[in-house]
Amino acid sequence: MSSLLQQPWTTWLSQIAAILRMDLRKSFFARRGALVYLLALAPALLIVLHAMVDHHSGMDPASHVGEDTQIMAVIVQVYYIRFAVFFGCMGIFTWLLRGEIVEKTLHYYLLTPIRREVLAAGKFFSGAIAASAIFGGGIVLSFALMYGHIGAAGRAYVFDGAGLSQLGAYLLATVMACVGYGSVFFALSLVFKNPIVPAALLMGWETISGILPSLLQKLTITYYLKQLTPLDTPSTGLMALFTVVAQPLPKAVAVLGLLLLSAVVVACAGLGMRRMQISYSVD
């Protein structure tokens, strides 16, 4: 314990902060990041169209708070967590290392007097912050538009009803999805020259999460994320037939489990980075 305390934590933290400053700028303002923004903000466009359709249909807005709540749940759980965050994290986190390699800039980082594990941690945190901010922002915007167009009934649902707690749960699930998927993509980008193919296999694994035996379900990120979402979206079709209902977990345990899983994966990535050799010619 004493040797752990004797480590130069202040130096490491300042080094992580320096990496964050550089990488966050790249993640937020790079031109290629436009696709991630598009992913995060696309549902907002749909909700605007939905509001326009509702406005013209002349329906009583208060009558469809329940339906809109269900729609919001599906948007978050199906669109955001299953597709947008997955692919967004694939783009952001694999680019943290692979991007530096294909742009032939990773050696600048490796030439600095910084431990490889610290570099890995800094890179991972920058990805997690960027992904959480972008997708969290997208969800907040979608949520505001969804209930904003209903008027007084929507405001009442958000501020006096279950709305804010649902938003909090959606944001927590999104942040945890970014951390969970991000850690796996970050590690994959270190192991594979082209991490996208294993990432696609991971997507297949996550998709069939619901039909896996309950023990195997605990090895998927989807299992922990399901525990964090406030409303259940039942699976349909063939998947519904084979769905195995796993034992539910308390939210705190789900968050802790996912954080632990991510920490282990990032730690392994950090250790792997110690042995990392760059060969720009083969990428």
Partner 1 sequence: MAVYKRSYAAYGGGHTPVARRFLVPARFGWSQVFASRVFTASYLVVGVVPLLVGALLIYITDTPAVQALIQARGLLEINRMWFLNWLQVQGWFSLLLAAWVGPTLVSPDLTNGALPLFLSRPLSRTQYVVGKSLVLAGLISLISWVPALVLFGIQASLGPEGWAAANVSLIPAIVASSLLWMAFLCALSLALSAWVRWRVVATGLTFAVFFLPAGFGTAANLVLRTSWGNLLNLWWMMVVVWHHLFGLADRLRNLPAGRSSEPMPLSAAILTLCTATGFCLLLLNKRLRAKEVVRG
For partner 1, the binding residues (CB under 8 A) are 32, 39, 42-43, 46-47, 49-50, 53, 71, 74-75, 78-79, 82-84, 87, 90-91, 94-95, 98, 102, 194-197, 199-201, 203, 236-237, 283
| Least Cβ distance, residue 248 to partner 1 (angstroms) | 25
Give the residue with the Cβ less far from partner 1, 167 or 255: 167
Distance CA 167, CA 162 (A): 9
Distance CA 132, CA 13 (A): 21
Give the residue with the Cβ less far from partner 1, 236 or 247: 236
Give the residue with the Cβ less far from partner 1, 54 or 117: 54
Distance CA 94, CA 15 (A): 21
| Least Cβ distance, residue 75 to partner 1 (angstroms) | 5
| Least Cβ distance, residue 99 to partner 1 (angstroms) | 8
Query: Can you say how many angstroms the Cα of residue 201 is from the centroid of all Cα atoms in its chain?
Result: 18
Give the residue with the Cβ less far from partner 1, 96 or 255: 96
Give the residue with the Cβ less far from partner 1, 236 or 277: 236
Give the residue with the Cβ less far from partner 1, 75 or 266: 75
Give the residue with the Cβ less far from partner 1, 21 or 107: 107
Non-local (6+) Cβ contacts of 50 within 8 A are 71, 146, 149
Distance CA 169, CA 279 (A): 43
| Least Cβ distance, residue 203 to partner 1 (angstroms) | 8
